[in-house]
Copies of this chain bind each other. A is one copy, B any other.
Amino acid sequence: MPPAETPIALPIPLLPLGFRVGGIHAGLKRNPSRQDLSLFVSERPATAAGVYTTNLVQAAPVAFDHDPAESLPGIVVNSGNANACTGDRGAADACEMAAVAAAALGVFERSMLVLSTGIIGEFLPMHTLREGIPTAARSLGREREQVVAAARGMMTTDTRPKLAGESLTVNRREITIAGFAKGAAMVGPRMATMLGVLLTDAALAVDDAQRILAAAADTTFNCVSVDGHTSTNDTVLMLANAAAGGGPLAGDELERFGLAVERICSLLAREIADDGEGATHVIRIEVDGCRNREEARRIARTVADSPLVKTAVHGADPNWGRIVSAAGYAGVSFDPLGLRLELNGTRLYASGGPLPFDAAEVSRSIRDHRETLIRLSFAEGAAGICFFSSDLTAEYVHLNADYHT
């Protein structure tokens, strides 16, 4: 039984020119009020880029989507079933899902990408998809309700759709980017993560699209962990259809566009942590003073994934020894005497020993804010990272002890 819905956290973005989207209830989820099938479609050829899970056990759609061809007009997404660990039959099902969508939209069969999310190890209900996909194709549009429905069709135990967007003027043309994501659990990305879809009407060369998406995912989606469990299905796709006009972005324009993509991914990544299963706090972990970003990320992820840190935040408990000790087993070498720790702005630890602080006040600060800020400063170098996590609650346990049945 998925948790109750919560309000959408961010403004609903404008849809870039030349795209239509939609989401319907096809029947993969039991509750008929919950969308489980979405389409993201470009009316014109689009450049596609993708980043994928590094899990060795990869779902059928991940294999299907690798190395997308140019000029792909769309993405078909189902929730409620991950089509993972389903062998040859799963691969054939992913292929047929794309074919059915292509037929419904009147495009070439290899022009659709496929995303699936939900339970692992069960075969897709193909009869449901064969009926549902043409219905979803008829629901496509550009209205706010269709944008929200498309985001809802990706959700599993997410309590709200995750949407973010931005418009910017580049070379006197208005360019729009819209982002969609789902998270909730089995979120512990390594390289790629969860499901994400970015649509833009900018014109992008294929290599630039891939580079920008990979760089943005690296500092945003790859810096989120709900439970440290890297999914079999993690994928982020970007479609750029050039409908805003103008030639492919280059130089400073491309740079500015890349920063906008990173901002949108960052908002969506934070949303994933904030809406982590059962979460009552989003935890922002800022690590600096490291030799390189990978070491900073490794320390941040180790702190983020410690059940002891996560439960301490849930209990509004400034039990900072759990944070310092998690940093110590991250597998990164550092001088413990150079480590300083702040929790919600209060300095707790430096030079190898505790600093006096008002525990009741720090506890109140954790309790009173949805976001908890952990700042770890090292004396090794100049690299840093910002990582998002969620707290660990009894609700997470209840949700996951009872998801399958």
Q: What residues of chain A have their CB less than 8 Å away from a CB belonging to chain B?
A: 54-58, 82, 84-90, 119-123, 185-186, 188, 190, 227-232, 305-308, 311-312, 314-315, 317-322, 324-329, 333-334, 336, 339, 348-349, 351-354, 359, 363, 392-394, 396-398, 400-405
CB neighbours (8 Å) of A352 from chain B are: 85, 87-88
Contact B229 A308 (CB under 8 A): yes
Given A56-B329, A229-B322, A229-B326, also A401-B308 (CB < 8 A): no
Of chain B, the residue at the smallest CB distance from A89 is B353
Q: Which 7 A-B pairs have the closest CB atoms?
A: A120-B321, A87-B353, A315-B401, A57-B328, A230-B329, A311-B400, A394-B394
Contact A321 B121 (CB under 8 A): yes
Contact B87 A351 (CB under 8 A): yes
Contact A307 B227 (CB under 8 A): yes
Report A278 CB to chain B, min CB distance, Å: 9
Given A320-B121, A405-B363, also A334-B56 (CB < 8 A): yes
Contact A231 B401 (CB under 8 A): no
A58 to B335, CA, bound (A): 12
Of chain B, the residue at the smallest CB distance from A319 is B404
CB neighbours (8 Å) of A56 from chain B are: 327-329, 333-334, 336
A324 interface neighbour in B57, B306, B321, B349, Cβ under 8 Å? B57
Q: Interface on chain A toward B: helix, strand, loop, or mixed SS?
A: loop
Of chain B, the residue at the smallest CB distance from A337 is B87
Contact A90 B308 (CB under 8 A): no
A349 interface neighbour in B85, B123, B334, Cβ under 8 Å? B85
Contact A308 B400 (CB under 8 A): yes
A394 to B329, CA, bound (A): 25
CB neighbours (8 Å) of A90 from chain B are: 353
17 interchain pairs, CB-CB under 8 A: A55-B325, A56-B327, A56-B328, A56-B329, A82-B321, A84-B321, A120-B319, A228-B305, A229-B308, A229-B326, A230-B325, A311-B400, A312-B403, A312-B404, A318-B404, A359-B405, A394-B397
A190 to B333, CA, bound (A): 15
CB neighbours (8 Å) of A308 from chain B are: 185-186, 227, 229, 400
Contact A329 B84 (CB under 8 A): no
Contact A319 B403 (CB under 8 A): yes
A329 interface neighbour in B82, B185, B190, Cβ under 8 Å? B190
Given A308-B400, A392-B397, also A321-B354 (CB < 8 A): no
CB neighbours (8 Å) of A354 from chain B are: 85-87, 121-123
A334 to B55, CA, bound (A): 11
Of chain B, the residue at the smallest CB distance from A59 is B325
Of chain B, the residue at the smallest CB distance from A354 is B121
Of chain B, the residue at the smallest CB distance from A308 is B229
CB neighbours (8 Å) of A351 from chain B are: 87
A305 to B307, CA, bound (A): 10
A228 to B309, CA, bound (A): 12
Contact B402 A315 (CB under 8 A): yes
CB neighbours (8 Å) of A327 from chain B are: 56-57
Contact A120 B333 (CB under 8 A): no
A291 to B334, CA, bound (A): 31
A392 to B227, CA, bound (A): 12
Contact B400 A231 (CB under 8 A): no
A121 to B85, CA, bound (A): 45
A367 to B378, CA, bound (A): 46
A84 to B327, CA, bound (A): 14
